[in-house]
Amino acid sequence: MNKFVSFLSLGLLISPIASADEMRPTGDLGVVIEREAHSVLIMNTTQKTQLARIENLGDLSHASVVFSRDERFAYIFGRDGGLSKIDLLQDEVSHRIIQGGNSIGGAISQDGRIIAVSNYSPPGVKLFSAETLELLADIPASYGDNQLSKTVGLVDAPNHRFVVSLFDAGEIWVIDVNDIANPKIQKFKNIGKQPYDAMISADGRYYIAGLFAEKGLALLDLWHPENGVKRVLENYGKDDEQLPIYKMPHFEGWAMTSDYVFVPAIGRHEVLVVDNRTWQLVKTIPVLGQPVFVMARPDGRQIWVNFALPNNDKVQIIDASSLSVTNTLNPGKAVLHFEFSPRGENVWVAVRDDNQVVVYDTATLSEITRLPADKPNGIFFSARAHKIGM
């Protein structure tokens, strides 16, 4: 007994236990991108408070974020090629590199060991150590007669793979990184003209790329890649007059429920409802503007939609049961992005031109609070660490 007490006493002297107030649970964290200030706010998502501000992170005009599997680190992909690893517990930059000249996004591998970056310049995909940001592989997006393509729509996929689209080449590549010293690439060619963005289904099975220069979508079934890329929605709007496009929709914000995929129609005031088994168009839902993000609450019951100019001060909510718009909200000027709490009781809305993040109760649609932020344009919660393609 005496030895046991002495051991405990020694342990307490060496490692005092932190108080509850000093502890910061990683699952309760998120970041808000401050676009023009080149900074990131670290937030407590339950208390809805700001914990810290990290500055000097470069061009964040198209910034995206992924999280380490332990939720401690946020990896920020800047438009200027900056890759920053932020320690969410120490409120500091752990590592930062400039890996390219023009970057459009990134992903983290299934096991959390590899960070992949999609580049316009130099055209291709680069792979880095998640721990040190050391370069592990450089994969130029070469095609045709020594040509190089901008890369877009980069996501992680099961079995230690990444999937990316080549804008200029009209190709989709599946990159196997099980052997990081020798990545294997499976190339799918002639998938359509100018794939501009893409997403992967929540179960990691379907990779879907949007096409800018022609109608339709390119669909790759990663369970059966031997079947090649399938074209879907080829005839939607085929004979209609092309409207001016004020902002391209973002595929990351596609809503997928148990039955349907909700797709923003390019240049049109509609959300498309697609059967996720047959990939046939079920319905078009009229909305008040050109949709940009079309995002589902985690339970799939609500679909939240924001818009390009001149309707970018509004948000509309679609009921997934009736497939109709049920509510319209006015958060403020220039609504750019949403993020739902992990179980969907709240949604955070970035309102750039009002320098605010607005938090709503998704059941009552009542406003809970407004948080100050300098030109916010992206909101990302650490729960993304445990989701495919996020």
> Kind and range of the H or E element at 182?
none
At residue 213, the pLDDT reads 86
Average pLDDT per block of 10 residues along the chain, 390 residues long: 43 44 85 96 97 97 95 97 97 97 94 97 97 98 96 96 98 98 97 92 92 89 97 75 63 76 88 91 95 93 94 97 97 96 97 98 98 96 95
Question: Does residue 142 belong to any structural domain of this protein?
Answer: yes
Question: Does residue 61 belong to any structural domain of this protein?
Answer: no
At residue 345, the pLDDT reads 98
Question: Does residue 339 belong to any structural domain of this protein?
Answer: no
Question: Does residue 186 belong to any structural domain of this protein?
Answer: yes
Taking residue 119's Cβ as centre, other Cβ atoms within 10 Å add up to: 27
Taking residue 181's Cβ as centre, other Cβ atoms within 10 Å add up to: 7
Identify the CA nearest to 67 among candidates 58, 57, 76, 78: 76
Question: Does residue 66 belong to any structural domain of this protein?
Answer: no
Here the tokens at position 244 are 């001016």
At residue 173, the pLDDT reads 98
At residue 376, the pLDDT reads 97
Question: Does residue 366 belong to any structural domain of this protein?
Answer: no
- Residues 141, 290: Cα–Cα separation, whole Å: 32
Question: Does residue 228 belong to any structural domain of this protein?
Answer: yes
At residue 384, the pLDDT reads 96
- Residues 97, 134: Cα–Cα separation, whole Å: 9
For residue 183, give the CATH number of its domain: 2.130.10.10
Identify the CA nearest to 141 among candidates 154, 132, 131, 151: 151
Residue pair 160/109 in contact (Cβ under 8 Å)? The answer is: yes
Q: 82-87 and 281-286: which strand pairing?
A: unpaired
- Residues 51, 173: Cα–Cα separation, whole Å: 39
Q: State the pTM of this model.
A: 0.92
Residue 140 makes CB contacts below 8 A (sequence gap 6+) with 122, 123, 124, 148
Residue pair 251/199 in contact (Cβ under 8 Å)? The answer is: yes
Question: Does residue 156 belong to any structural domain of this protein?
Answer: yes
At residue 13, the pLDDT reads 42
- Residues 77, 83: Cα–Cα separation, whole Å: 5
Residue pair 109/125 in contact (Cβ under 8 Å)? The answer is: no
Residue pair 291/282 in contact (Cβ under 8 Å)? The answer is: no
Residue 234 vs residues 4, 79, 209, 297: alpha-carbon distances, Å: 73, 32, 13, 28
Query: Structural domain tally of the chain?
Result: 1
Query: What percent of the residues of the chain are helix, what percent strand, and what percent coil, each to the nearest 5?
Result: 10, 50, 45
> Kind and range of the H or E element at 7?
helix 2-14
At residue 4, the pLDDT reads 43
- List pLDDT tens digits, range 199-245: 899 899 999 998 888 888 999 999 999 999 999 988 776 666 665 66
Q: Which domain holds residue 105?
A: 99-243
- Residues 335, 247: Cα–Cα separation, whole Å: 12
Q: Phi and psi at residue 67, in whole multiples of 5°? A: -125, 150
